[in-house]
Amino acid sequence: MAAPNKNKIFPIPNYNKLCFLKNLVKNPNIEIGDYTYYDDFENVDNFEKNIKYHFDFIGDKLIIGKFCMIASDVKFIMNGGNHLTESISAYPFAIFGNDWQNAMDGKNYPTKGDTIIGNDVWLGHNVTIMPGIKIGDGAIIATNTTVTKDVSPYSIIGGNPGKVIKKRFSEENIELLLQIKWWNWEIEKITENVQLLTSNDFEKLKQLL
Give the residue numbers annotated as catalytic, written as ranges. Answer: 83
3-class SS of residue 82: coil
φ, ψ for residue 105 (rounded to 5)? -55, 130
The overall longest dimension of the chain from CA atoms, in Å, is: 68
Beta strands in the chain (DSSP E): 18-20, 30-32, 37-39, 51-52, 62-64, 69-70, 75-77, 115-117, 122-123, 128-129, 134-135, 140-141, 146-147, 155-158, 163-167
Question: In this structure, are strands 51-52 and 75-77 parallel, antiparallel, or unpaired?
Answer: parallel
Among 130, 114, 117, 118, smallest CA distance to 178 is for 118
Q: Which residues contact 95 (CB under 8 A, 6 or more apart)?
A: none
